A and B are shown apart, each in its own frame.
Chain A
Amino acid sequence: MRLGHCLFVLVPGNLRDAAARELHDAVSARLAKEHGIRGLVIDVSALSIVDSYAARVLDETAHVARSFGSKTVLVGLHPEVAVTLVELGIDLSALDTALNLERALAKLKLRIVSEDEDGPGP
């Protein structure tokens, strides 16, 4: 879902590998096609488990976003999951994280602009 300059992505729970890959492809396609997306917010609160594969897909998505000029913020990462990722030895430094959507938007320093939905961007 797009709101102003932000693209919001809700990751479903029980994420299969193929579904993770599809999500990555769909987000990449929108970032490539649409102008003016400056922030990508990925809500992972439905994920009770993030293993190395899911982490890698998230990381890749953030890298794609970065190459299209968007910053990525993860929202709703469970503390247990965050601890596990660190112990797995996974570096998610390409991703910023925020406690909730409000803080994510503050991090992105973006305001939701309802107009300019499909505009040419800044």
Chain B
Amino acid sequence: MALVRDVVAETLQGASLIPVAARSIVTTLPPSANAEVGSLDVVAGHDLLRYLASGLRVFASAPQPALLEELHRRITAGKGFKPTARVLTVTSDHHVVMAQEAAQGMLRGLFKPTDCIRVATAVSELARNIYLYAQTGEVRLTLAEEPDWSLTFSVLAADHGPGIPNLEEILAGNYRSRTGLGKGLTGARALLDGLDIKTSPAGTTIKGFKKSRPPDPLRDQ
């Protein structure tokens, strides 16, 4: 298999760039360029693309969207970047902080700063609910690329706790818990683009997602 670095060099040579510009961009590529074509995940891949976009702006004085699109296609072997996933077991308040950091680390630079905080806060609420009400559970964070390069972050919070008996009351906003402000679930719902809650005495599964908003982080240069 070809390396990302070689494919980038080849693509830039084929483009109408002055050779020294292409060489400068290639010699200063980040370490992720040593991966095989098609193996990069969304976070590493978009980091690389942003690097290439800024490189093209500096050396070729234009963002060159068509060239970037070709680079994207060839780096990913036409399949798009692999989703980035993090799975965290939640058993204490320490894991709540870890979930916040994981969400922030995943989205930093890819989502708008305010959306990063929104998502990390929503993840924090869901993780905290697990440790407060179910003691143990799992939070799965995924960042996936859509065909149009926009990104979708999703969170899956699952536990085998006692379930949420008064879900409707909570979602109606009339509930005030002992431990929080009763804002955890309604807050997470408000901060994300969608939240789906399935709960029973056997456990609770909550799925939420947030899309990166236009302007796309790659073109917003």
How many angstroms from the CA of A7 to the CA of B121 in the assembled complex?
A: 28
Residues of B within 8 A of A52 (CB): 125, 180-181, 183-184, 187
Contact A15/B97 with A49-B104, A49-B117, A87-B118 known, Cβ cut-off 8 Å: yes
Residues of B within 8 A of A78 (CB): 117
Q: Check B179 against A53 for contact (C-beta < 8 Å).
A: yes
Taking a contact as CB atoms closer than 8 A, the residue among A18, A48, A55, A56 that contacts B117 in the complex is: A48
Q: Check B187 against A53 for contact (C-beta < 8 Å).
A: no
Q: Is A32 an interface residue (CB 8 A)?
A: no
Q: Check B94 against A16 for contact (C-beta < 8 Å).
A: yes
How many angstroms from the CA of A56 to the CA of B101 in the assembled complex?
A: 21
Residues of A within 8 A of B94 (CB): 16
User: Looking across the interface, which residue of chain B has its beta carbon closest to that of A81?
Assistant: B117
Q: Which of A17-76 contact B (CB under 8 A)?
A: 17-18, 48-53, 55-56
How many angstroms from the CA of A18 to the CA of B121 in the assembled complex?
A: 18
Q: Check B187 against A48 for contact (C-beta < 8 Å).
A: no
User: Looking across the interface, which residue of chain A has its beta carbon closest to that of B184?
Assistant: A52
Q: Check A87 against B100 for contact (C-beta < 8 Å).
A: no
A-B interface contact total, Cβ < 8 Å: 74
Residues of B within 8 A of A16 (CB): 93-94, 96-97
User: Looking across the interface, which residue of chain B has its beta carbon closest to that of A53?
Assistant: B180
Q: Give min CB distance, A17 to chain B, whole Å.
A: 4
Residues of A within 8 A of B118 (CB): 80, 83-84, 87
How many angstroms from the CA of A78 to the CA of B104 in the assembled complex?
A: 15
Residues of A within 8 A of B180 (CB): 52-53, 56
How many angstroms from the CA of A1 to the CA of B186 in the assembled complex?
A: 37
Contact A17/B96 with A52-B183, A80-B113, A89-B187 known, Cβ cut-off 8 Å: yes
Taking a contact as CB atoms closer than 8 A, the residue among A49, A87, A90 that contacts B120 in the complex is: A49
Taking a contact as CB atoms closer than 8 A, the residue among A48, A79, A83 that contacts B104 in the complex is: A48
Q: Check B128 against A49 for contact (C-beta < 8 Å).
A: no
Q: Check B128 against A51 for contact (C-beta < 8 Å).
A: yes
How many angstroms from the CA of A15 to the CA of B97 in the assembled complex?
A: 7
Residues of A within 8 A of B117 (CB): 48-49, 78, 80-81, 83-84
Q: Give min CB distance, A96 to chain B, whole Å.
A: 19
Give 22 A-B contacts (CB < 8 Å), ordered by A residue. A14-B100, A14-B101, A15-B97, A16-B94, A16-B97, A17-B93, A17-B96, A17-B128, A48-B117, A49-B100, A49-B104, A49-B120, A49-B121, A51-B121, A51-B124, A51-B184, A52-B125, A52-B181, A52-B183, A80-B117, A87-B187, A89-B186
Contact surface of B with A, Cβ cutoff 8 Å: 93-94, 96-97, 100-101, 104, 113-114, 116-118, 120-121, 124-125, 128, 173, 179-181, 183-184, 186-187, 190-191
Contacts beyond the supplied A51-B184, A52-B183, A55-B181: 9 A-B pairs with Cβ under 8 Å: A14-B101, A48-B117, A49-B121, A49-B124, A51-B128, A80-B116, A84-B114, A84-B121, A89-B186
